[in-house]
């Protein structure tokens, strides 16, 4: 990661008319003096549900607890708020925290993208961060996301190991990013067996209800698909549909994404959820708080042309992983270890 001091960040903002950001990043000092922890105030803007959601909010809360213990922070050092979910409420929450003088405001989840694009430019001296997005191109916003393409490749490896029919499925919202994930998933599956057939279902933004999703997933299962990797995180409808179609005669297993898909922890989900690609929101929270206490921010170049900075966690820094739940999935452990080693060694082109 590239650690950039808040003081340098402010100066960099003022100099943008004279120097390119890329040049400035090249001349930043390697180390900076630590900030006084007692002067650092951090705020967390949770997504809908807040603590207790069994998803991204709880993962961030876990990181907060670890950071408070590790850095001996008082309860007054960190403020937590939860959005009601509307765009106006998200903007109001962020604006309130910025006006209150918090040094770092961490927004939890991609749902804050639009609100940050409105609020962050109004407070150029405040550092914001968003965990779960790389789509906020602002100098004072740290974008934290995860290498989903690596996760998709590993999901393909697991799916190919699990399938009995030789047919596996991929479900996601239609986007350029998810098209890349589909290619990676297919590559992972065919690494295990060239005979594996991948059936993709790319959902449109309109397909947000069970009535829209169920027939698409049902069609996939009726075509003998018996393992599905789902990136659909808007609702638990893929999960509930798979549960309804899972029978002794034709068992169906699901591979999901944690902690974004909070519904993976729903009652009886374990009957079909075989494995999950895991994104470490807790680790990201600790790293962001650690940087703030040092008077720094995290500013790797994610997309220089768009002006997106932050950090993308991957296998190389252990910010992502793969959790195997079912007995059959655990038999794929050796294949996962091998695939991860090939990715780290650069032998897999993604």
Q: What is the pLDDT of residues 10-52, one digit of tens each?
A: 444 443 433 333 333 333 333 334 456 667 899 999 999 999 9
Instruction: Give the mean pLDDT of the chain.
Output: 90
Distance CA 349, CA 217 (A): 29
CATH 3.40.50.2300 residue window(s) in the chain: 3-146+281-316, 148-279+320-341
Strands (E), 211-291: 227-230, 253-258, 273-279
Query: In CATH, what number does 148-279+320-341 get?
Result: 3.40.50.2300
pLDDT value of residue 211: 77
Token code pair at residue 2: 């590239």
Architecture of domain 3-146+281-316: 3-Layer(aba) Sandwich (3.40)
pLDDT at 169: 98
pLDDT band at 166 (very low <50, low <70, confident <90, very high): very high
Distance CA 336, CA 156 (A): 10
Please state, as a whole number, how many other Cβ atoms lie within 10 Å of the Cβ of residue 87.
13
Structure tokens at 239: 């999960």
Digit-coded pLDDT (tens) for 301-339: 999 999 999 999 999 999 999 999 999 999 999 999 999
Residue 116: strand pairing partners? none
Quick one: tokens of 169? 């499925």
pLDDT above 60 (res 344)? yes
């Amino acid at each position: 990661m590239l650690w950039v001091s808040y003081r340098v960040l402010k100066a960099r903002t003022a100099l943008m008319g004279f120097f390119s950001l890329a040049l400035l990043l090249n001349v930043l000092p390697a180390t900076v003096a630590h900030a006084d922890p007692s002067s650092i105030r951090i705020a967390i803007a949770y997504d809908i549900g807040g603590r207790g959601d069994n998803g991204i909010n709880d993962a961030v809360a876990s990181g907060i607890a670890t950071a408070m213990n590790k850095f001996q922070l008082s309860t007054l050092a960190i403020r937590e708020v939860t959005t009601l979910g509307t765009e106006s409420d998200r903007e109001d929450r962020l604006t309130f925290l910025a006006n209150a003088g918090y040094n770092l405001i961490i927004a939890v989840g991609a749902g804050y993208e639009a609100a940050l694009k409105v609020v962050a430019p109004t407070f150029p001296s405040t550092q914001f961060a968003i965990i779960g997005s790389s789509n906020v191109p602002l100098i004072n916003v740290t974008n934290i996301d995860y290498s989903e393409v690596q996760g998709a490749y590993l999901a393909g490896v697991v799916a190919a190991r699990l399938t009995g029919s030789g047919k596996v499925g991929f479900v996601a919202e239609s986007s350029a990013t998810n098209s890349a994930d589909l290619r990676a998933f297919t590559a992972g599956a065919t690494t295990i067996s060239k005979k594996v057939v991948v059936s993709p279902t790319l959902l449109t933004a309109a397909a947000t209800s069970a009535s829209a999703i169920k027939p698409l997933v049902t069609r996939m299962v009726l075509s003998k698909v018996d393992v599905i990797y789902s990136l659909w995180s808007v609702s638990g409808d893929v999960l509930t549909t798979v549960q309804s179609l899972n029978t002794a005669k034709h068992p169906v297993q699901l591979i999901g994404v944690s902690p974004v898909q909070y519904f993976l922890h729903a009652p009886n989900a374990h009957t079909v959820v075989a494995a999950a690609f895991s994104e470490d929101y807790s680790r990201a929270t600790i790293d962001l708080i650690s940087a703030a206490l040092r008077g720094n921010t995290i500013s790797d170049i994610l997309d220089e042309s768009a002006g997106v900075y932050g950090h993308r966690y991957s296998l190389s820094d252990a910010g992502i992983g793969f959790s195997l739940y079912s007995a059959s999935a655990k038999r794929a452990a050796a294949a996962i270890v091998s695939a991860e080693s090939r990715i780290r060694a650069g032998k897999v082109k993604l």
